[in-house]
Structure 1
Amino acid sequence: MTARVLVVDDIEANRRLLQAKLEAQYYTVILAENGIAALHAVEKHEPDIILLDVMMPGMDGYEVCRRLKADPATAHIPVVMVTALNDVEDRIRGLDVGAEDFLTKPVDDFALMARMGALTRYNAVASELRQRQASGLRAGVDNSDSVSVQDKPARLFVVDDNQRMATRIADMLKAGGHSAFTLHEAGGMTGLNELGVDILVLSMLSDRYDALKLCAHFKMNEATRAISILLISDPEDRQRAGRGLDLGASDVIFTPVDKQELLARVRTQARRSRYIEMLRERVDRGLELSVIDQLTGLYNRRYMNNQLEQLLQRSKMGGRPVSVMMADIDHFKSVNDTYGHDAGDEVLQEVAKRLKTNSRVMDVVCRPGGEEFMVIMPETPGGLACAAAERIRLAVAASPFKIYGGAKEITITLSAGVSTVNGPSDTIADLTKRADTALYQAKSAGRNRVESIAA
């Protein structure tokens, strides 16, 4: 997995050194010699990751990072500060303006590549989700009501067999407004996903368990794969820490753990996790909006046709018969003309509710459009389908419909037509045409009834 990397440093030798290291691992490298050039390069080349020197004349790295993170078009790009400074306050300042991490000069090759690998994996997931979201927007799906949860406190689980150290870490996190509990308090590591854990703080200092095996286990397990892992490592154990990043850990903090750095790193991981969560919610909502009728909550015509095609093929290949009920609200035009379209919408919503309530879980209840509804009944022969349609008709007519928010009641009835798949030559058009013809017969015979037409 590779990426486009923007290297920003005012010293050419430093730029060329990082370029050589990255290109040896098949990264595509873009160079910029100062902050202004970096902002122009980001706009022109859209890099996946930025390696940003802190100490530059004019606009320093902190200001460049702040501007990038303040711009919605570039806020998602991971920034790694590269500096000769190794003071905790300098690291925290960088993390506070939105940087993902620090690398200290001279840059350790293994730490650099491990960090690049971790950020590239994160970026790949985020990029795919953004593309899916963009596809939904191009298709006319509006998910602008999705709520960002990036700034909510995180829920953390501290894994360290040194109870005193684990409690100290948990207390730091609680003081920062997060929810944290230790391995000792939980009594085990089962059910992390059910507990709603966002970040797992995993110590690499224990002799009683292998932190890297635990890291690999959590990333292989589908239930815990989305949980971010923050490793606590000895500064002399950088190679194993880098290996942890390779295995899927999101970040590393070295001992002795500084409270402010810990909180800054947790905040960064929480924001990243919330960002992915927000993108997934938007993509899921976009997929839902593409197949759901927004007024009634039933499936739309697109989903209806897709399900009919699949069920019809299954039936033709020796499966059980498929039946459909096509229904239409009697005298619906007069409802709109007499009481208004808002009242008509209330009627459509209540009809949809009664259809869903009186259908089986396996049935597919759809609204193709207007006042028409269809119930697809898998594994259902014609006789049972007619009985089901009659049950639905009775449920609609059984009690008055409330309109104007419950201020008035009116009587609503349905007419329905039923048809069943008949042989391998049957098509969706044949099936729905017979149901439509049966529905027309029900209307002609006086409405509020169910008719079935033989193939």
Structure 2
Amino acid sequence: MSNILIADDDPVSCKLLTALLTKWGYAPKVVHDGLSAQRELCKQDAPELAILDWLMPGLDGIQVIKELRATHPVSYTYVLLLTSKGQKKDILEGLEAGADDYLRKPFDAQELHARLRVGSRILELQNRLIKALETTEYRATHDSLTGLYNRAAIMDRFEQEAARCMRADHPLGVIMADVDHFKAINDNYGHLAGDEVLKQLSAHMKSALRPYDSLGRYGGEEFLILAPECGLNEALSIAERIRSSVAKDKLIIDNVEIAVTISVGVSSAQGLGLTVNQLLRSADDALYSAKSNGRNRVECRGAPEVENPDYVPEAQHVGWLAPAKFTPYRAEI
């Protein structure tokens, strides 16, 4: 049942419209002045169809329509302007104000019904187009297997976050994670199981992040995490929390327990050192080191702000590389 707004100060007209619309399967909401109509149309759950009288107290129908179109609400309202005015200039004024259709009083019930059906078809087509556009945009920016950002989208986010943090002179943490022995998982359990590992692991990692962190599938079994406002200590803490959580909880796939671990590389920079290429290269170098040093561990580029690595749990799984010479990082890393 479609909601529809009736805005008319004539009680007889309102009663007739209500009876007809209810008979046709609509759920009418009646108001008697322009200000009330404007409030109803500005609500988050505003009706998609509206019948407005031209002459009303407060605001007239033309003013209500102009205000509605100027606010650009999220959902579109199809407006039929109902009035005794019938001059060509009146019709043009109503349509140019933003009305979608125009019907003269006294109206013919069958004609009104037909015009409302046209409005409903237009709204249905619009909703289908919006859903198709949203689906297309989602597919263009998200990995079809994991539902995470794809490589292009996470790199776009990387550029945006780097620019924002540089303007604000805030740190940005970068975390690269890679599934250990993923080829062996595919060989031993099959590629479908390998896909399920990536899906479950993605959900697992996402649940361990803050709402404003970004997670994307960088390629294959490799993931990229952006942690805004994170110096090296904070980024290391996030990375170790993810690593230990993954190592602790076995994945259940087709009633089979599969032990999965990840190796993680971490970098962070602020100010002049905050460039996408350098942050990515440092995190990648640290990830390579984590793989080389036994896997299931976190490595970072540069020493943390404190000498003692006990600020993260299971410190034996955390290590760091000397800062790269090419990177003009700040003192904390």
| Interval containing the TM-score (normalised by the shorter chain) | 0.7 to 0.9
Aligned equivalent of 1:76? none
Q: Which runs of 5+ in 2 are unaligned?
A: 303-322, 324-333
Aligned equivalent of 2:30? 182
CA distance in 1, matches of 2:273, 2:126: 47
Retained in 2: the 8 A contact 1:325–1:435?
yes
**Per-residue Cα deviation, 1:177-227 (whole angstroms, up to 9, x for no partner):** 22322226xx94434343341111001244664221112111112337721
Once the two structures are TM-superposed, the CA of residue 396 in structure 1 deviates from its matched residue by 1.3
CA distance in 2, matches of 1:322, 1:241: 58
Aligned equivalent of 2:16? 168
Q: Secondary structure at the match of 1:360?
A: coil
Indicate how the Cα distance of structure 1 residues 324 and 179 shifts in structure 2: closer, same or farther if over 3 A, else same: same
Over the matched positions of the two proteins, sequence identity in percent amounts to 34
**Per-residue Cα deviation, 1:71-114 (whole angstroms, up to 9, x for no partner):** xxxxxxxxxxxxxxxxxxxxxxxxxxxxxxxxxxxxxxxxxxxx
After TM superposition, the structure 1 stretch with the greater mean CA deviation from structure 2, 337-346 or 305-314, is 305-314
Q: Which runs of 5+ in 1 are unaligned?
A: 1-152
Retained in 1: the 8 A contact 2:166–2:270?
no
Tell me whether 1:278 sits opposite 2:135 in the alignment: no
Retained in 2: the 8 A contact 1:215–1:247?
yes
Retained in 1: the 8 A contact 2:169–2:270?
no
Aligned equivalent of 2:90? 240
Instruction: Please point out which of 390, 396, 418 is paired with 2:240.
Output: 390
Indicate how the Cα distance of structure 1 residues 334 and 225 shifts in structure 2: closer, same or farther if over 3 A, else same: closer
- Comparing both chains, which one has the higher relative contact order based on Cα–Cα distances under 8 Å and sequence gaps of 6 or more? 2
Retained in 1: the 8 A contact 2:48–2:75?
no
Tell me whether 1:451 sits opposite 2:299 in the alignment: yes
Letter in 2 for 1:435: A
CA distance in 2, matches of 1:280, 1:401: 37
Once the two structures are TM-superposed, the CA of residue 389 in structure 1 deviates from its matched residue by 0.4
CA distance in 2, matches of 1:163, 1:408: 69
Q: Secondary structure at the match of 1:424?
A: helix
Indicate how the Cα distance of structure 1 residues 224 and 312 shifts in structure 2: closer, same or farther if over 3 A, else same: closer
Aligned equivalent of 1:417? 265
CA distance in 2, matches of 1:207, 1:372: 64
Once the two structures are TM-superposed, the CA of residue 439 in structure 1 deviates from its matched residue by 1.1
Once the two structures are TM-superposed, the CA of residue 428 in structure 1 deviates from its matched residue by 2.2
Q: Secondary structure at the match of 2:89?
A: helix
Tell me whether 1:215 sits opposite 2:65 in the alignment: yes
Once the two structures are TM-superposed, the CA of residue 249 in structure 1 deviates from its matched residue by 0.4
Indicate how the Cα distance of structure 1 residues 209 and 422 shifts in structure 2: closer, same or farther if over 3 A, else same: closer
Indicate how the Cα distance of structure 1 residues 342 and 282 shifts in structure 2: closer, same or farther if over 3 A, else same: same
Indicate how the Cα distance of structure 1 residues 422 and 381 shifts in structure 2: closer, same or farther if over 3 A, else same: same
Aligned residues: CA RMSD: 2.1
Instruction: Please point out which of 435, 438, 444 is paired with 2:283.
Output: 435
CA distance in 2, matches of 1:225, 1:297: 26
Q: TM-score normalized by structure 1?
A: 0.62
Q: TM-score normalized by structure 2?
A: 0.83
**Per-residue Cα deviation, 1:146-177 (whole angstroms, up to 9, x for no partner):** xxxxxxx5421111122231121122122222
Instruction: Please point out which of 353, 366, 370 is paired with 2:216.
Output: 366
Aligned equivalent of 1:10? none
